[in-house]
Amino acid sequence: MSDTPIQGIMETTLDKIKAMVNADTIVGDKIELPGGVVAIPVSKVSYGLVSGGSDFPNKANQKIFGGGGGAGVSISPVCFLVVKDGEVKLMPVSKDSGAAEKAVALIPELFDKITTMFKNKKAEKLDDENKEALTEDLV
């Protein structure tokens, strides 16, 4: 039994997480593939917990407690252990960049191109102004 209500909330939250996430979540069940190949998925499990509460005063001098708790769980595939012909290989799961990540990666290149374009425009404008000045001097 928990000593404080907060401990009770945390214990209940952790018990629920333990029921959801166990060793089978991290190292999954084997997957039999054609050709005698067996793949075993391996995942990364991350979780966060939060809880809070307060004792509320009342006129009857009874302890009134109000509180709550919550948790978040993230399961991400990391790799597969692949067994073929008695040989075990580790095959990492690569995370392909999404469109937003690719766009962010292209920003420096785009910035350089825009800067170059403006410099070229400015140089063309200066050349045009110089040509006009030379023409006026000749006339």
Q: Average of pLDDT values for 113-121?
A: 77
pTM of the full structure: 0.48
Q: Average of pLDDT values for 94-106?
A: 63
Give pLDDT tens digits for 31-87.
Answer: 998 888 999 999 888 888 888 888 888 777 777 888 888 888 888 888 888 998 888
pLDDT of 124 above 70 = yes
In the numeric block, which tokens belong to residue 52? 């809070």
